[in-house]
Structure 1
Amino acid sequence: MKKILLFSLVMAALPAIAQNNNPVFPGWYADPEGIIFDNAYWIYPTFSAPYEEQVFLDAFSSPDLVNWTKHPKVLDTSAVKWAHKAMWAPSIIEKDDKYYLFFGANDIQGDEEEGGIGVAVSDNPGGPFKDHLGKPLIDKFHNGAQPIDQFAFKDKDGQYYLFYGGWKHCNVAKLNDDFTGFIPFEDGSTFKEITPDSYVEGPFMFIRDGKYYFMWSEGGWTGPDYSVAYAIADSPMGPFKRVDKILQQDMDIARGAGHHSVIHEKDSDNYYMVYHRRPIDTDARDSRETCIDRMYFDKNGHIQPVIMTREGVKSNPLTIKNQD
């Protein structure tokens, strides 16, 4: 008994071990999309490297937001014959027990080049994924938007949309039932521009209390001004009036914070921002790491500024089906 008591006293006197969960997994990764499938959290990021080395996509899964398992090369260019570099910013969605992974490839600079936005499919969120079409889903510049940075979104009525666009233009299009193409809008157009003020790239959307929160990245992705802003609308089509910037560099923590996504634990008010940032001690272009911090709302439903931390978030195991 004395030994147990002495051990307890010694442990109580020791300083608490600091939580250090950011970055959430090792390696240089950017543009992370976080999502919940059944009882696991998933993150699908860009492998941050020179474009010619970006020929695959890894995924990571976790039961609790703290302990992550790497799923290497869930998709690579051996499965996508038209893609040969710059596989970027994956976005994934589940439909009819299949998982559809949208991705950008080749960093095309004009309509005459091969590449754009593709889609791959798998029976498992951990892959392997195979090319769904054998060609890009979008391979042209519509409304000035470079075909990159795609985000797949399911609306309340079951309609699926694809938001996308670089070069300071953002489009939305209605996906058809099997994700092989698009359904024209009532006016006959396929790609509608919805670009909000200061938009650069990286669109993301979620619904909270019946409102559509549209989010994007601003500034230059290699610069200190990279950041995240948002708008609120009554429709997935907008109009989107910029509300505020909610994520930006903190010179005590990191620079270049942006290109994010949001994980929401169903039936709770737990919202997590998943994003990349550049460590203070490096200027290397591709030195970007994936992090998670909490996201909160004020009483009016506005998003409060997200505070970047080294501690990250606490363990939050999923115990029920949480797909949102």
Structure 2
Amino acid sequence: MTLPTLAQQTEKKERSGNPIFPGWYADPEGIVFKDKYWVYPTYSAPYEKQVHMDAFSSPDLVTWTKHSNIIDTTSIKWAKRAMWAPAVLEKDGRYFLFFGANDIQNDKEKGGIGVAVADKPEGPFKDHLGKPLIDKFHNGAQPIDQFVFKDKDGQYYMIYGGWRHCNIAKLKPDFTGFIPFDDGTTFREITPESYVEGPFMFMRNGKYYFMWSEGGWTGPNYSVAYAIADSPFGPFKRVGKILQQDPTVATGAGHHSVIQVPGTDRWYIVYHRRPLTETDGNHRETCIDPMYFDEQGMIKPVKITVEGVKAEPIGKAKAR
């Protein structure tokens, strides 16, 4: 066995490596709170064992600290299983975590999308409503895979949906419900071509980038595609895939989020994938790689790597 050289050891410490932390985790939400990067993933296990969530924080995208059990079914009384795909934001000094639970299959089952609140990004999070925020199917969308987008005017929107349908809805300022649109509807469908689940939205140079996952989550062809529009309501015309498997690295690369380094035009995509050695659908790991744009503002296809990314402390990034 050949030991790594000092230079190789130093380089290894300067890069995150993929996965960025050990354990089976999926559907990662990446976000910046103050001077730290945070990742909130799904605990990837059989549905009956998905009764809690962990979070991870880092000052530089390389060194990660685990925050265990930030929320679980003991604090969310109506949630029994399948706690999925957290979406987290800070508002007025409090932290709100939106999640799916119970994997409901129809309007008669109990569950859907909930919201919890905490005083710190690592929790503990407590139920904000005592019931789901969305507990019914609207426009055919299963109430899972929620993402909360803050528009340039300060309005928060929930973008969500499984079963190949995606809705957008206007959240009340206190996140206790929704405000109907001018036409009287509450849930507006914005489903693009080939959409399956896992929506995500961000703004760059005045444009709305809408991203989603395609394919089946247990298969090798799980992937991410995107569209660009002038409004969070679209219309969103599919541009193409930008994240997918590399048979030499990993399969099933999908259900992602995007981090913009504060004060810069540098971007990272956080996603899950399945190691080549694994066949169990739940054996997914969280990874990170750079995401680049071309001169026209199109997203370049992401190269998934084993090395991950170089260290990027937030304070130093702002000063560049």
Same fold (TM over 0.5): yes
TM-score by length of 1: 0.94
Mapping for residues 147-166 of structure 1, pairs under 5 Å: 147-166=143-162
Match of 2:302 in 1: 306
Deviations 1:88-141 (CA, angstroms, capped at 9, x unpaired): 000001111111100000000000000000000011101000000000000000
Match of 2:8 in 1: 16
Mapping for residues 27-176 of structure 1, pairs under 5 Å: 27-176=23-172
CA contact (8 A) 2:29 2:86 kept: yes
Specify the code of the residue in structure 2 equivalent to 1:134.
G
Specify the code of the residue in structure 2 equivalent to 1:41.
Y
**Displacement of 1:16:** 3.0
Percent identical residues: 71
d(CA) in 2 for partners of 1:107, 1:85: 8
Deviations 1:236-255 (CA, angstroms, capped at 9, x unpaired): 11110000100000000000
SS at match of 2:315: coil
Specify the code of the residue in structure 1 equivalent to 2:8.
A
Instruction: Indicate the structure (1 or 2) with the bigger Cα radius of gyration.
Output: 1
Deviations 1:39-66 (CA, angstroms, capped at 9, x unpaired): 0000000000000000001000000000
Match of 2:201 in 1: 205
1:178 aligns with 2:174: yes
CA contact (8 A) 1:200 1:217 kept: yes
Match of 1:233 in 2: 229
d(CA) in 2 for partners of 1:187, 1:234: 20
SS at match of 2:314: coil
d(CA) in 1 for partners of 2:38, 2:7: 33
SS at match of 2:280: coil
What residue ranges of structure 2 are gaps of 5+ in the alignment? Answer: none
Structure 1 residue ranges (4+ consecutive) displaced by more than 6 angstroms after TM superposition? none
Evaluate the alpha carbon distance shift between residue 231 and residue 14 of structure 1 in structure 2; reply closer, same or farther with a 3 A threshold: same
d(CA) in 2 for partners of 1:300, 1:63: 32
d(CA) in 2 for partners of 1:271, 1:15: 27
CA RMSD of aligned residues (A): 1.3
CA contact (8 A) 2:118 2:124 kept: yes
Deviations 1:1-57 (CA, angstroms, capped at 9, x unpaired): xxxxxxxxxxxx866346361100000000000000000000000000000000001
Match of 1:267 in 2: 263
TM-score by length of 2: 0.95
